[in-house]
Amino acid sequence: MKRDVTLVVLAAGIGKRFRPFTKDKNLFPFLGSPLIDFVLPKSLPPEVIHCVVVANGTNKEALERIRFPVPHTVVVQEEATGMAGAILAAKPHIAGKSILIVIADDVADPALMEMVMKAVRPDVFGVLTTWKPQQYFPGGYVVFRDNRPVGIKEKPGAGNTPGEYVYFGGQYIAHADRLIEAIQNGKKSGDDIYEAALTKLMSDERFTAVIYDGGFVSLKYPWHVLDMTTYLLHHRLKPGKGKNVDIRNNVSLEGVVYLGNNVKIFENTKIVGPVYVGDNTIIGNNNIIRESILGEGCVTGFNTDITRSYIGDNCWFHSNYIGDSVLEENVSMGSGSVLANLRLDEGEITSVIAEEKVGTGKTKLGAMIGEGVRIGVNVSVMPGVKIGAQSMIGAGIILDRDIPEGSYCVSKSVIDIKRNKANIASGNREHYKTKI
């Protein structure tokens, strides 16, 4: 007989490394749905009959409104103490239960939860989901003995790993009380409170590991929105066409394309899927849109190129190049402005997060732009630059640094004005016309 299981969804992360984006990571909209919808598949394993969502102070109400596949209760984690604190916050709802823990911004194959539940046997106390990164990954490496997981070493450092596998969201624990106890009696500070508790449990009880070799993406840094966009476009997008879609002459659509209600696409435009276009968005003449998500109510204007990017709702463009970039909602760009996505030396693009330079692992990365930003004409935004919400970037600026929220930037260029001595008659150019 199957045991009933409570799903614990950890959604309390406040995303301070996710700036300039101000939306809750778990609710960040992709393909017309909040991210959490992709974490919770429509058909959960049958054992899961209830769900506890651990929220933070600001996303609680939104999470209560989300439609879950099973009844759900939202609890608030008061302190930002990571997963350990999240489990403690869920305590009143999981005491005495078996639990399956998932992280709300970790998107993987929807069959993963089934895989975990299938690994549950009478003699198994816990199941870990593990994954083998291609290079060193700053996560929790699993220590195996006799093919069984017996502990976790959090961020051991490259060359110092106890094995090849890291664990991630998707843990089954037969008795939540034991986990709570291990946390309460364990370490009080450090990066690895949760992992220490789990290791204690693993030394006392029998765990098994599920090896997951599909893709998974989580939202930690702002450029991860691009990884998520790529993952969801390739794995979750279904082709479709809403009501009242208006496609003009000589538009070409290739690959998997979803067009929402009332979408218009004007002449001589090419859409190269996978591409998702939200309701009421207008794609102008002579555009190219490739491998991107466009939100609702956008207007791309004339002659815009959007490639491998994420565009929020109500963004406006006009003759822009947006490559490998993320724009939250209500961003607009003036004609001729470009989000550069490749360094001149074609090297890795870095970004400053919490005053520290972080490698992004990408050689193609454009800008990350918060909501409500206005960009003037002929602006050049350098690769990897982040622009805080509600900022304005004046015409012609070469933006080579991050801009804090609510800034107003103008270029202090100097114009030298003299008397003009030349005077060109229009007739001078007549001979050029013969060459047209």
> Token digits for 72?
């759900």
111 binds its own copies (CB under 8 A): no
Contact region for its own copies (CB under 8 A) — 28-36, 71-79, 140-148, 267-275? 267-275
Which residue carries 């990164």 as its tokens?
A: 133
CB of 96 to its own copies, least distance (A): 48
Q: How far, in Å, CA of 151 to CA of 153, rounded?
A: 7
262 binds its own copies (CB under 8 A): no
11 binds its own copies (CB under 8 A): no
CB of 435 to its own copies, least distance (A): 8
Contact region for its own copies (CB under 8 A) — 27-35, 213-221, 222-230, 315-323? 315-323
Which residues are within 8 A (CB) of 367 and not within 5 positions of it... i.e. 6 or more apart? 325, 326, 327, 339, 381, 382, 383, 384, 385, 386, 387
CB of 301 to its own copies, least distance (A): 8
What is the phi/psi pair of residue 364, to 5°? Answer: -120, 110
Contact region for its own copies (CB under 8 A) — 23-31, 121-129, 170-178, 336-344? 336-344
User: In the set 61, 146, 346, 356, which binds its own copies (CB under 8 A)?
Assistant: 346
Q: Which of 24, 166, 177 is nearest to 93 (CA)?
A: 177
Q: Which of 164, 196, 165, 168 is nearest to 182 (CA)?
A: 196
Do 227 and 245 meet the contact criterion of CB atoms below 8 Å apart? Answer: no
Q: How far, in Å, CA of 296 to CA of 174, rounded?
A: 43
CB of 422 to its own copies, least distance (A): 4
* Alpha helices (runs of H) in 160-223, residue ranges in sequence order: 176-185, 193-204
Contact region for its own copies (CB under 8 A) — 40-48, 144-152, 199-207, 425-433? 425-433
User: In the set 42, 185, 412, 434, which binds its own copies (CB under 8 A)?
Assistant: 412
Q: Residue 433: enclosing H or E segment and its boundaries?
A: helix 430-433
Considering only residues 61 to 100 of the shown chain, the ones binding its own copies according to CB under 8 A are none
261 binds its own copies (CB under 8 A): no
Strand order in the sheet with 392-393: 332-333, 374-375, 392-393
CB of 22 to its own copies, least distance (A): 14
- In DSSP notation, 364-396 reads B---EE-TT-EE-TT-EEPTT-EE-TT-EE-TT
Contact region for its own copies (CB under 8 A) — 5-13, 162-170, 222-230, 387-395? 387-395
309-330 b/e (C-beta count within 10 Å ≥ 16 → b)? bbbbbbbbbbbbbbbbbbbbbb
CB of 109 to its own copies, least distance (A): 24
Do 13 and 48 meet the contact criterion of CB atoms below 8 Å apart? Answer: no
User: In the set 22, 73, 350, 411, which binds its own copies (CB under 8 A)?
Assistant: 411
- By rule CB under 8 A, what string of x and - marks binding of each residue 292-311 to its own copies? -----x-x--xx-x------
421 binds its own copies (CB under 8 A): yes
Size of the site for its own copies (CB under 8 A): 84
User: In the set 14, 62, 76, 395, which binds its own copies (CB under 8 A)?
Assistant: 395
DSSP 8-state code for residue 342: B
22 binds its own copies (CB under 8 A): no
CB of 410 to its own copies, least distance (A): 5
User: In the set 67, 188, 357, 433, which binds its own copies (CB under 8 A)?
Assistant: 433
168 binds its own copies (CB under 8 A): no
Considering only residues 235 to 254 of the shown chain, the ones binding its own copies according to CB under 8 A are 248-250, 252
CB of 29 to its own copies, least distance (A): 14
Q: Which is nearer to its own copies, 143 or 311 (CB)?
A: 311
149 binds its own copies (CB under 8 A): no
Which residue carries 């030349």 as its tokens?
A: 422
User: In the set 347, 348, 352, 361, which binds its own copies (CB under 8 A)?
Assistant: 347
213 binds its own copies (CB under 8 A): no
User: In the set 288, 311, 327, 367, which binds its own copies (CB under 8 A)?
Assistant: 288
130 binds its own copies (CB under 8 A): no
255 binds its own copies (CB under 8 A): no
Q: Which amino acid is at 184?
A: Q
Which residues are within 8 A (CB) of 239 and not within 5 positions of it... i.e. 6 or more apart? 256, 257, 258, 273
98-133 b/e (C-beta count within 10 Å ≥ 16 → b)? bbbbbbbbbbbebebbebbbebbeeeebbbbbbbee
Q: Residue 48: enclosing H or E segment and its boundaries?
A: strand 48-55
